[in-house]
Amino acid sequence: MPRMTTADAAVAILRREGVTNAFGLPGAAINPFYAAMRRDGGITHTLARHVEGASHMAEGYTRARAGNIGVCVGTSGPAGTDMITGLYSASADSIPILCITGQAPVARLHKEDFQAVDIAAIAGPLTKMAMTVLEPAQVPGAFQQAFHLMRSGRPGPVLIDLPFDVQMAEIDFDPDTYQPLPVYKPEATRAQVAKALDMLAEAERPIIVAGGGIINADAADLLTEFAELTGTPVVPTLMGWGALPDDHRLMAGMAGLQTAHRYGNATVLASDFVLGIGNRWANRHTGGLATYTAGRTFVHVDIEPTQIGRVFAPDYGIVSDAGAALKLFVEVARERKSAGWLTDRTAWAQECRHRRATMQRRTHFDNVPIKPQRVYEEMNRAFGPETRYVSTIGLSQIAAAQFLHVYRPRHWINAGQAGPLGWTTPAALGVCVADPDTPVVALSGDYDFQFMIEELAVGAQFNLPYIHVLVNNAYLGLIRQSQRGFDMDFCVQLSFDNVNAPEVGGYGVDHVKVAEGLGCKALRVTEPGEIGPALEEAKKLMAEYRVPVVVEVILERVTNVSMGTELDNVVEFEDLAERSEDAPTAVVALLD
């Protein structure tokens, strides 16, 4: 039997589970694991500048490609606590990442040893398993179980904490006969799917709410097929955006309080039946439940049994992997179609499309300082369907979801539930590592950008080119807008007179200089007409230098973006589109 350190065994298992990349940074307590990675030579390591950054890189890496599991590695103590935010946003969005931490030797865990913190206890509520491995011979089993759990049921993160002496201990382990454990994914039955289709058949105005579970199950094609077979309009959630291309005739728009379209909300309110697949009825999607559910029948399909009924009781629930359910939905719908049993939904689908062609927001503003809506219009012109967007939170993200177009699954990569500021830059870098061939465009507000700005150096060092659109209002914009309810503008200003950069005109941080100082390229624009040319220039710079390129757009400082508290009372702050020139990049041209 081969004899090796547990660290060598752990790395051998990572390789056999398909891991090719890791994100992290070493420290004394995790050096044995780094030594094992070095001996193995098969894992490409990206050195983050902040351990939280490594955890978000791992998330971006997982989210970019089906089957990927991002791995983040850090030392004992603060490295683990820094990665807690990544574990939170991964678990919130059902994203598997494996977090590996070093730890003080077993015999000193209870002695307040230097950087000995009970990270497994801290990570417990955020992970599917968080384990400090105390027995060297348990290390292979811990890793095997980690991959089994991350991939089974509702996907999510795992933390494995390895005391220094455990990493160094030798065990007998045979990598050649190691076998990943089978993955558990519940599947809908024919009877369940038939019942759900019977309920759909009784409806007059049905919609499908398509959640991130469809993306996780890699089942976007099945969703499209099912929607087309039955003629049912689709309302993607923020996490499901891209499951159906934005230019599909059955794309009915997103619904919700913020990241939503006017026509999406109107279609949900007009519907009488909702088939939710792989979604979780997030409160930013539903708004008040009385408004959301009134007069509607609900079927909910989710892989996690306890998600059924969590937010409200559906009329019927099915526990299933979204892909397995959709396969059956397609099969049974096809049979019913050839038997002539399917209802013709053309008129209802046309009604939804009419809403899409009439209820639009204006994007074409020529104002200086620039209005945010114009930025997304220019992005729609500059970036095609192949583009993969990455964003986290803020007015920037909310407006992006209202105005950008997404055409493919995994092309809208967003920390939907947790929304941690700082997420965008490291997540975008993880996405670039996972798929260097697809153009990546990240979008940040100035505060999100400043949170983890140091990670830009990682892009420069490891040649991870992408375009980072930075919309700068020198404000914690979303919070400033929400403070209107308190009649205040308190602790949300990011503006100051920068003694080194009077040219930024009181907007505070000189992002161009900082980005350049970190080894990236950067451009700044102040007029709407400059945005398009700057985005084209950014593409050239990215190709030439192979580093991240920041395009900073100086926005008007006070902007309010459409949002509300109920699906039927989203407040509009700007004029709506009245002519097609008002929203020239809308996918469906405005009927004026």
Residues that bind ligand TPP (CB under 6 A): 393-396, 419-421, 445-448, 471, 473, 475-479
Residues near 196 by Cβ (< 8 Å), separated by ≥ 6? Answer: 275, 299, 301, 316, 318, 329
Closer to Mg ion by CB, 152 or 562: give it.
562
- Selection from ligand TPP, Mg ion, none that 53 binds (CB < 5 to 8 A by kind) is none
Whole-number Å distance between alpha carbons of 190 and 13: 37
Question: Please, what is the minimum distance in Å from the beta carbon of residue 50 to ligand TPP?
Answer: 13
- Selection from Mg ion, ligand TPP, none that 479 binds (CB < 5 to 8 A by kind) is ligand TPP
Question: Please, what is the minimum distance in Å from the beta carbon of residue 445 to Mg ion?
Answer: 4
Closer to ligand TPP by CB, 317 or 394: give it.
394
- What does residue 523 show for φ and ψ, rounded to 5 degrees? -130, 155
- Selection from ligand TPP, Mg ion, none that 420 binds (CB < 5 to 8 A by kind) is ligand TPP
Amino acid occupying residue 259: T
CA neighbor of 386 nearest in space, from 418, 356, 408, 413: 408
Closer to Mg ion by CB, 241 or 475: give it.
475
Closer to Mg ion by CB, 147 or 475: give it.
475
Question: Please, what is the minimum distance in Å from the beta carbon of residue 130 to ligand TPP?
Answer: 22
- Selection from Mg ion, ligand TPP, none that 417 binds (CB < 5 to 8 A by kind) is none
Closer to ligand TPP by CB, 240 or 445: give it.
445
DSSP string for 272-287: SEEEEES----HHHH-
Question: Please, what is the minimum distance in Å from the beta carbon of residue 289 to Mg ion?
Answer: 31
Closer to Mg ion by CB, 522 or 547: give it.
522
Closer to ligand TPP by CB, 164 or 475: give it.
475
Q: Find out whether 467 and 551 touch, Cβ atoms under 8 Å.
A: yes
CA neighbor of 166 nearest in space, from 131, 145, 135, 130: 135
Report CA 189 to chain centroid distance, whole Å.
Answer: 30
Neighbours of 110 (CB within 10 A): 10
Question: Please, what is the minimum distance in Å from the beta carbon of residue 448 to Mg ion?
Answer: 8
Report CA 123 to chain centroid distance, whole Å.
Answer: 20
Residue 575: HSE in the Cβ half-sphere, 13 Å Cα cutoff: 9
- Selection from Mg ion, ligand TPP, none that 419 binds (CB < 5 to 8 A by kind) is ligand TPP
- Selection from Mg ion, ligand TPP, none that 43 binds (CB < 5 to 8 A by kind) is none
Burial of 194 (0-12, 13-18, 19+ CB in 10 A): middle
- Selection from ligand TPP, Mg ion, none that 421 binds (CB < 5 to 8 A by kind) is ligand TPP
Burial of 483 (0-12, 13-18, 19+ CB in 10 A): middle
Question: Please, what is the minimum distance in Å from the beta carbon of residue 401 to Mg ion?
Answer: 16
Question: Please, what is the minimum distance in Å from the beta carbon of residue 557 to ligand TPP?
Answer: 10
Question: Please, what is the minimum distance in Å from the beta carbon of residue 404 to ligand TPP?
Answer: 14
Please give the radius of gyration of the chain, using alpha carbons only, rounded to the nearest integer: 25
Q: Find out whether 341 and 201 touch, Cβ atoms under 8 Å.
A: yes
Angle at 162 between CA 159 and CA 166, to 5 degrees: 155
DSSP string for 301-370: EESSGGGTTSSS--SEEEE--HHHHHHHHHHHHHHHHHTT-SPP-HHHHHHHHHHHHH--B------SSB
Closer to ligand TPP by CB, 138 or 483: give it.
483
- Selection from Mg ion, ligand TPP, none that 478 binds (CB < 5 to 8 A by kind) is ligand TPP
Closer to ligand TPP by CB, 320 or 417: give it.
417
Neighbours of 451 (CB within 10 A): 22
CA neighbor of 439 nearest in space, from 388, 381, 392, 390: 388
Closer to ligand TPP by CB, 155 or 372: give it.
372
- Selection from Mg ion, ligand TPP, none that 531 binds (CB < 5 to 8 A by kind) is none
Q: What residues make contact with Mg ion under the rule CB under 5 A?
A: 445-446, 473, 475, 477
Question: Please, what is the minimum distance in Å from the beta carbon of residue 479 to ligand TPP?
Answer: 5
Whole-number Å distance between alpha carbons of 200 and 206: 7
Question: Please, what is the minimum distance in Å from the beta carbon of residue 550 to ligand TPP?
Answer: 14
Closer to Mg ion by CB, 17 or 448: give it.
448
Question: Please, what is the minimum distance in Å from the beta carbon of residue 573 to ligand TPP?
Answer: 14
The residue at minimum Cβ distance from ligand TPP is 445
Six-digit token pair at 510?
Answer: 């000189």
